[in-house]
Amino acid sequence: MSGIKKNHGNNGGKKQLNQNQIFRRQKVRNARTIRTEAIHTSNKSKNEQNKSLSEDGSIIQVDQFIGSREFELRQLQYAMLKSKSSSSTRVFQALPRKLRRRTASHNVKRIPKRMRNRALKEMLKNDQQSNVSSKNASTTNKKTHGLSSSRLYRAKMSVKLLRLASKSMSMKLALPSHITASKYNVRQRIKYLKKLIKESKNTKQPTTSDVNSGRLNNKCGSYDNTGINKLAPIPRGRIKYCKRQRQFSWLPTHIWNAKRSHLIKRWGFNIPWSPSQKCFKLAHRLGSGVAASDGALCMDTSFMGTMIINNISENKSLLKQIVSRLTKGRASLSKYFGSKNLYEGLIYDIEGEESKILGPSNILWVDENEIILRLHPTIYSTIFTYLTKTFSKELSIQDCRYSLASIAIRGAKALTALSSILRSTSNSKSFESFKRVCNVSDYNVLPSKLMFAMEVIDPRHLSAPKKIDNKNPVNVEDIISISEDQSLNGEFSKVLKKLTTVEGRKQSYNNQQTLKQLSKRRQELLESKTIYEPSSQKRIIPFNDSSDPSVPLFLTRRPKENDWLLIIPWFWHLPIWYQLNRVPRVYNMGLRQVQQLKYENKQLYFPDDYPFTEIGVLENSPYKSNSLRAKWEKKTAGKRLNFEKIPNIHSNNLPAISGEIGDYFSCDWKFLQLVQNGIEYLKQQHGGNVPLIDEKKTTQFDNKHHSRMVNNFNDLLELYKYITDDSNGPSVESQLPTTPISLANGKAVLKLKTEQFVNTVDITKKPLPVTAVSCYLVRRGHPKDNARVYSIPEKDIPYWSSVSQGIYKANGTLNNHCDIPLPNIINLIGFVTSGTFNLADGNGRCNGFIASKHLHNNNSFARSHVLIRNSGTNIYRLAKIETISV
């Protein structure tokens, strides 16, 4: 006991450290120790030093002072570097966050070359001999399978099924009585299949070109998957992943993105949703404003459907008439049809009597008889089916969803990054124009109609991306000449001919080489070159016009999207993508970043911000609402928000509803339609007044129309509960609850006519005119998706007007906790479709839709301001609105 007490007395009751812990602590302590030097070590005399460094009125000599403290400054920098790496005990822990992977701790090939020697020493120290193999050992242990991929997969599955059939009692009973394991020699069959699988590793696998010799012209297995007047089949990848691609097809970059991004299964594709690392600030800094950007963001947009339509009839104006009907006459204007500008606008469904908005589209006129049409996958099949059924003999339609891939890239370094990996096969005017503007970072100085069509070499010929040496900087004359040379004649039509035809795309795959073949050519090139030539020239494989393939590509600027669109053949997408992401300051993004950038630029994102389309309604109600509801229901009752018991939401409480209004987890446009149409109906019935409730009567039914009678606002809420109740049966809505009305500069282009509501059926059927707005919060807070938008009551206008100017305390600071007047439920005019904190403004901002009649308010302040309340809260924020063109 005395020994224990003595031990406690020495260390003060603290836990003793072992030798390893003492070493690590001393290592960190030494790294953070900064050595200093006395000032009198200088060669100057003390009087001169005191004179140059005195603080009583004399001037400090900066150069002499820094010279005397040079030792301390160097030691400070050294200590900062040592302290940064002192806690990193292994190589992969010292890597940047972007390069860190779990496999980097045991695979030396996942570590940069400059750190591999240190990593090999660490692996040898830890006896990880299996992962540190020599070059000769790796060449002798190559995995070559004798069976083809499908036969190997079938053999492995047969082994599993035979084992299951011999062990599962239910399967034994399901088989006929005369079939037994001993009679059919199940053990011998399993043994034979396992031997076949094992022996197949020592034989050579037949190449893909041998299997499909009539279909392929290369060893990479690239082919053109195009459907002529029919939908193309879903491409199948490796047999290993065939079960995962039955319902959802994979993009060319799926495996690359699966390691770096979160993927979602939507619209028949596995699409990148957002990078695994935090990137909200990065996306804003690189993608929102070109002036503040110092990099680029790229995304695989191959999920966007592309079709090529050719007019094969004698009527040369047929295609122009069809495009005019699909776009309400916009894409057939001279600036698109004649000048060959890229059309970015809405497309309509012309199959029914009333043309409905389907969604956004991109249309490019190749010539008067051919166009390239790009659509969102949700509306692609609708347009394709209509055109093939209606114009099967007049049009030739190519389904290029799986034969043309695309990349969207934005940011100040977008053209610079592309120029680092693209090299022309021959002298090309388009490529020379591209070289002149590749270093331009501000796209506002470039013409809006700017496109390039050229043939480039395989980007894998470059061992690493390298910038083009452009000695002559671009000037105004070059930009003017580039804009004047833009035409789809000559070289443009030649390249687009290869890109828009099956033969041209197949020809681009001719003799497409594998990585091993390119590596062999590069090694021969290195051995043949002299030692005096630059290493950069040694690593570029020269282009052989007779054997090497040329890649046709089309690059165009999209002014509305504020990005660049690169269209290439499907199987050339991955080589370009790998090289593009090796360029410094180029990052990948997903759908979440596209939505963020559109929100910051006051633009609508499809389909979330399109509630006036069928796809937008489906995205909002079933998909987003059900997912948020399921997440809410997973929580226990004590930890989830009770929406029905939120107090003090409105100034008046009605018995028909308590707590939150409408659907808690979505923008309830049906509820808004009933509220706004019901208010107009009640005003017509009661001479301009809106009675809230009649305490003497309950809700009555109209036997003629088989619906509830609406005599006051409380009856409207009862009608909504009756319509949305699942027990009453599913309600089939033939019309959308809202219809858009575009406004310009705050003035309505189309005057709103006063709707006449005869009965309650008209309330639920007539769509509500809405207008897209961008709301900027005047004070604190930030709105969220599905927030409620209210108009300001007339009696509360003086208070909110003073809030906009600022309510201050006695000490001069803003008062953010004063009591606010609550609006009524009849003041609900809209919903927020997308909102969060805007880094560009440094304040909360949101996009949404409000009833168009609100913009015709007589009071200017009430017309330009609204109140926003997040779902599930009772806090209102004042916001200023700006209209957005649809």
Q: For residue range 621-677, what is the model confidence (pLDDT) as tens digits?
A: 888 899 999 999 999 998 999 999 999 999 988 888 889 999 999 999 999 999 999
DSSP state for residue 791 in the 8-state scheme? P
Q: Is the pLDDT assigned to residue 76 strictly greater than 50?
A: yes
The pLDDT score that the predictor gives to residue 404 is 96
Instruction: Give the pLDDT band (50/70/90) at residue 288.
Output: confident
The pLDDT score that the predictor gives to residue 537 is 52
Q: Can you tell me the distance from the alpha carbon of 461 to that of 302, in angstroms, rounded to the nearest whole number?
A: 24
The pLDDT score that the predictor gives to residue 131 is 46
The pLDDT score that the predictor gives to residue 732 is 43
- Percent of the chain residues past pLDDT 70, beyond the cut: 80
Q: Can you tell me the distance from the alpha carbon of 391 to that of 313, in angstroms, rounded to the nearest whole number?
A: 10
Q: Can you tell me the distance from the alpha carbon of 59 to that of 65, in angstroms, rounded to the nearest whole number?
A: 11
Tokens, residue 522: 């590069």
Return the ∠ at Cα 851 (arms to 850 and 854), rounded to 5°: 100
Q: Is the pLDDT assigned to residue 183 strictly greater than 90?
A: no
Amino acid making up residue 571: F
- Percent of the chain residues past pLDDT 90, beyond the cut: 45
For residue 356, what are the contacts with CB-CB under 8 A and spacing of at least 6? 348, 349, 613, 614, 736
Instruction: Spell 395-428 as b/e; 16+ CB within 10 A means b.
Output: bbbbbbbbbbbbbbbbbbbbbbbbbbbbbbbeeb
Dihedral in degrees, nearest 10, Cα atoms 276, 278, 284, 287:
-30
Q: Is the pLDDT assigned to residue 746 strictly greater than 60?
A: no
Average pLDDT, the chain: 82
* Out of 14-23, 435-444, 792-801, least confident range: 14-23
Nearest to 219, CA basis, from 439, 450, 471, 547: 547
Q: For tokens 């090139």, what's the residue? A: 525
For residue 279, what are the contacts with CB-CB under 8 A and spacing of at least 6? 587, 589, 593
The pLDDT score that the predictor gives to residue 96 is 72
The pLDDT score that the predictor gives to residue 731 is 52
Q: Can you tell me the distance from the alpha carbon of 825 to that of 649, in angstroms, rounded to the nearest whole number?
A: 9
- Whole-angstrom CA distances from 583 to 131, 340, 410, 411, 594 are 29, 32, 14, 13, 21
Cis peptide bond upstream of 737, omega within 30: no
Which residues are 702's β-sheet partners?
A: 707
Amino acid making up residue 653: N
Strands (E), 334-394: 343-349, 356-367, 370-375
The pLDDT score that the predictor gives to residue 531 is 47
Side by side, the strands of the sheet bearing 227-228 are 227-228, 395-399, 305-311, 370-375, 356-367, 343-349
Q: Can you tell me the distance from the alpha carbon of 716 to that of 656, in angstroms, rounded to the nearest whole number?
A: 9
The pLDDT score that the predictor gives to residue 444 is 80
Element (H, E) at 699: none
Q: For residue range 371-382, what is the model confidence (pLDDT) as tens digits?
A: 999 999 999 999
Q: Is the pLDDT assigned to residue 35 strictly greater than 60?
A: yes
Q: For residue range 196-220, what is the model confidence (pLDDT) as tens digits?
A: 777 665 554 444 434 344 568 888 8
Q: Can you tell me the distance from the alpha carbon of 868 to that of 882, in angstroms, rounded to the nearest whole number?
A: 14
Q: Is the pLDDT assigned to residue 752 strictly greater than 70?
A: no
Instruction: Spell 499-525 as b/e; 16+ CB within 10 A means b.
Output: bbbeebbbbbbeebbeeeebeebbeee
Residues in the chain: 886
For residue 714, what are the contacts with CB-CB under 8 A and spacing of at least 6? 654, 655, 656, 692, 693, 694, 699
End-to-end C-alpha distance for the chain, whole angstroms = 84
The pLDDT score that the predictor gives to residue 74 is 85
* Out of 344-358, 475-489, 580-594, least confident range: 475-489
Q: Can you tell me the distance from the alpha carbon of 610 to that of 135, in angstroms, rounded to the nearest whole number?
A: 57
Contact 760, 707 (CB under 8 A): yes
Instruction: Give the pLDDT band (50/70/90) at residue 177.
Output: low
- Whole-angstrom CA distances from 345 to 145, 363, 596 are 52, 9, 20
More confident residue, 531 or 510: 510
Q: For residue range 456-515, what is the model confidence (pLDDT) as tens digits?
A: 999 999 989 998 877 666 776 777 677 656 555 678 889 999 999 999 999 999 999 999
Q: Can you tell me the distance from the alpha carbon of 544 to that of 78, in angstroms, rounded to the nearest whole number?
A: 51
Backbone angles phi, psi at 15, to 5 degrees: -75, 135
